[in-house]
Amino acid sequence: MTRFMGNLRFLIAPSQVPEDWSDLHRAYLNAVDGRVFPTRIEVDGNLLTFRRQTSQSCKLNIVWNISDFGRPMVRSASLPEREEAYVLLLELARGKISTLKDQLSVWQIAGLNIPAALWTLHDEAFAAFSQAAIIQDKLEECSELAGVALQKAHAAAEMLVQIYARQRLTILHQRSQSMKLPVSLGCNLGEFVPSASESQLILQAFDAVNTDLINWKLIEAYEGDQNWDLCDQQVDWCEKNNLLIRGGCLLDFSPKGLPDWLESWKLDMVNFQSIISHFIETAITRYTGSIRTWTLVSSMNTGGVFGLNEETRLTLTARAIEVAKQTDDSIQCFVRVEQPCGDYLSKGQHQLSPMQFVDAIDRLGVGLSGIDLELSIGYFPNGSHHHDLLDISKLIDKWSTLNLPLHITLAFPSDDSDISEKNSTISKVQTNQWKTGWSEAAQAEWIDLYLPLLLAKPAVTGVYWSQFRDQDPSRFPHSGLINLDGQAKPALETITKYHKQYWRS
C-alpha cells in the first residue's frame, strides 16, 4: 500500500459546504514547478484533507462555485504543510489575488493601459481579503469575506485579460501588411465532404481545416485493406477552396484509437514500429505538396491504447516524427497534448508531466515543429475542466517556454445529454461548470470570451475547433457548430464575426 507522508487540511464554513461533491475527484496538489502529486482526498464534515507522498509546499487546485463565474478550477498560493487547518476560501482568494497582481504588474510594465474600473475591482478584492485574513478564528465571517474577495479577483482577472487581448489584437492587425492575423483559424472537418451550403459556412468562418479522416483506424480497419477515397475527396475540396490543410491525427494513442488488428503486433516491437513507420510514410507521401502541416500523434501523454507504457509511447512518437521528416523534410510536424494542465497525473498512473513528455521528444532532435494543445472544456474523462481567462493565459505562457509554435484545438459542449452510455471512448459532459449552464448560447459566449485571447498570444499560430457537425462521430459530443437538425449554432456566427474582423478586412 502507498504510504502518504504529508497532508494539507482545509476548513470550509458549514454554510458553504457544497451539496454536490461530484467534481471533488478533480482536486489535486501540485508543486511550484507545476509537477502534480498523486493525491488522496478525504471529506469529514466541513474538513477536507489532501494526502500526498511528500511534505514539500504545494498548491491546491479545486473546483469551486463562484458567483457569476460558474464552477471553475481555482488554485491556492503555495502552502507549507502545518498542523493547523487552512481556511479554504481564504487560501483560494490569496492564490487568485497573487496571480492577478503578478500578471497585472507584468502587462503594465509592457505598456498595457489599465482602466480605473479594473483598479477598483483589484482594490475591492484586496480589501475583502485583508479583512478576512485578520478574522480567521471566525470561520463563517472569514469565509464570507474571502468569497467576496475571490469573486472580485475573478472579475478583475477577466477584465484584465480582455483588455490585453483587445489591445494586442489591434496591434497585430495594424502591423500585418495584409491586414490578416498571422494565425490560422480552422475547424476539424469530420467524416464528410462539405455540401455547397456547408462549404459556404466553412469558408465564411475559417481559413484552415483539419482533415480528420487521415486517421489510421478509419483508413485501415482491416490489416492490408486501406481506403483513402474519402480522404482524397476532402483534400481535393480543401485545395479547390484555397484552405490551409492540417492533416491527422495519424496515430491516436487514446483507448481504441489505433486499428484493433495492430494489437497483435505489440509484443514484437521491431515489427510494430516498422508497421507504424510504413503507414506514416504512405500518408505523407500520398499528400506531398497538398498537406504541409501534420498533427502526427495525439494522446501520447495520457495513453491508454493497448496498455502501452510511457516509454514506449515516447519512443513511438519520436519515431513517427522522424519518419515523417525523412519522408518530406519540408512539412511541419505537431503532436497533440491531451489535458495540458496535467491534472490526470493526480491519479498516480503517469510519471511524466505533459511538458516533460513533449520536452523529452524535442530534445531527441527528431524534428518536432510544434505542439497542439487540446482544450476540451467540460468533458470527462478525456477533457479539461473550466478555467478562467487568466488561468488559460498563464497556461499558454507556460507552454510557450518550450519555444515551439502552438496550435490550440477547442471543444465546448452546447448540451449535456448522454448520447452513448455504452461507448467508453466518448467523453461525457460534466455537471455544469459554465456561468450560465450548457447551451448553444453558452457555447457562443465562451468562444466570444476566450477566442480573442488565444488569437492574441504570440506563440499561438493556429486555433482549430474540434468538430463542425454534431451528427458526425466525436469523442466530445455536442461540441459541433452545426446541430443535429442541420442548423448553425450561434457559436459559428461568433467565429465568423472574428474571421471577418481579423482576416477579411
Distance CA(411)–CA(475), nearest Å, equals 10
Q: Is pLDDT at 31 greater than 60 in this prediction?
A: yes
**Which residue reads 497585430 in cell numbers?**
172
Triad 351, 356, 362: Cα angle to 5°: 135
The pLDDT tens digits for 95-111 are: 999 999 999 999 999 99
d(CA 490, CA 436): 15
The DSSP H or E segment spanning 149 is helix 139-175
Q: What is the pLDDT of residue 36?
A: 87
Mean predicted confidence (pLDDT) in 366-389: 94
Query: In one letter, which amino acid is 322?
Result: E
pLDDT at residue 13 tops 60 = yes
249: cis peptide before it, omega within 30°? yes
The residues with which 79 forms a beta bridge, in sequence order, are 58
* Percent over 90 (pLDDT), the chain: 79
pLDDT > 70? residue 175: yes
Q: How far apart are CA 384 and CA 374, in angstroms?
A: 9
pLDDT single digits (tens) 40-76: 899 999 999 998 888 889 999 999 999 999 999 999 9
How far is CA 483 from its chain centroid? Answer: 23
- State the pLDDT at residue 213: 83
- Amino acid letter, residue 220: E
pLDDT at 505 over 90: no
- pLDDT for 292 equals 96
For residues 153 and 72, is the Cβ–Cβ distance under 8 A?
no
d(CA 355, CA 366): 17
Whether the per-residue pLDDT at 422 is higher than 80: the answer is: no
How many C-beta neighbours within 10 Å does residue 221 have?
13
What grid cell was written down for 303? 495513453
pLDDT digits (tens, 9 = 90+) for 315-374: 999 999 999 999 999 999 999 999 999 888 888 788 889 999 999 999 999 999 999 999
Identify the CA nearest to 60 among candidates 17, 129, 9, 2: 9
416 burial via Cβ count (<10 Å: 0-12, 13-18, 19+): middle
The pLDDT mean for the chain works out to: 92
> Could you give the C-alpha distances from 244 to 207, 325, 435, 461, 503, in angstroms and in order?
6, 19, 34, 13, 14
Q: What is the pLDDT of residue 2?
A: 42
Q: 166: which 3 cell numbers?
A: 483587445
User: Where does the pLDDT of residue 24 fall: very low under 50, low under 70, confident under 90, or very high at 90 and above?
Assistant: confident
CB-facing half-sphere around the CA of 36: CA atoms within 13 A: 27
Evaluate whether 296 touches 248 at the Cβ level (below 8 Å): yes
Within 13 A of 229's CA, how many CA atoms are on the CB side?
2
